[in-house]
């Protein structure tokens, strides 16, 4: 079983979406964690858009990356440039991946326009996670 850490700035949206989808697609092939350089709490809109796609992340917590420094990760995925630039050093041989997803928490407009941006980013994260699992966790 592989250990995967998804890292972003606040561990509130993008990394939470990725954790949910990686757990879904990887099944028992990986243990998935998510963390932030900071902790901002899990965004209620992230919980809502994942529920719309049948994945419950309402039990997720917002965690600081320092909590996981002693876990031997096989893969580290940064999902924003800030996390990629400020990621702490993890000992051991771990493969690092980076994809800068837009931050849906910064969306502006009507409530429906904001939710539309959350759905758009959710779908981008879903595609990335499905592809990641196929490439790196295939039997």
The one catalytic residue in 80, 83, 121, 129 is: 80
Q: Which of 63, 64, 87, 114 is catalytic?
A: 87
Q: Are 39 and 80 in contact (CB under 8 A)?
A: no
Is residue 13 part of the annotated active site? The answer reads no
The rounded distance, in Å, linking the Cα atoms of 95 and 76 is 6
Residue 129 catalytic? no
Burial 66-86 (b: 16+ CB within 10 A, else e): eebeeeebbbbbbbbebbbee
Catalytic residue among 8, 22, 77, 105: 8
* Active site (catalytic) residues: 8, 80, 87
């Amino acid at each position: 079983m592989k250990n995967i850490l998804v890292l972003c700035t606040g561990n509130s949206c993008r990394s939470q979406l990725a954790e949910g989808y990686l757990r879904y697609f990887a099944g028992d092939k990986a243990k998935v964690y998510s963390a932030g350089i900071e902790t901002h709490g899990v965004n209620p809109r992230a919980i809502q858009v994942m529920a719309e796609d049948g994945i419950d992340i309402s039990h997720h917590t917002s965690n600081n990356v320092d909590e996981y420094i002693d876990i031997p990760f096989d893969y580290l995925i940064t999902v924003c440039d800030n996390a990629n630039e400020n990621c702490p050093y993890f000992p051991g041989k771990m493969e690092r991946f980076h994809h800068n997803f837009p931050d849906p928490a910064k969306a502006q407009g009507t409530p429906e326009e904001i939710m539309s941006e959350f759905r758009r980013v959710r779908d981008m994260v879903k595609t990335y996670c499905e592809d990641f699992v196929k490439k790196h966790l295939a039997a």
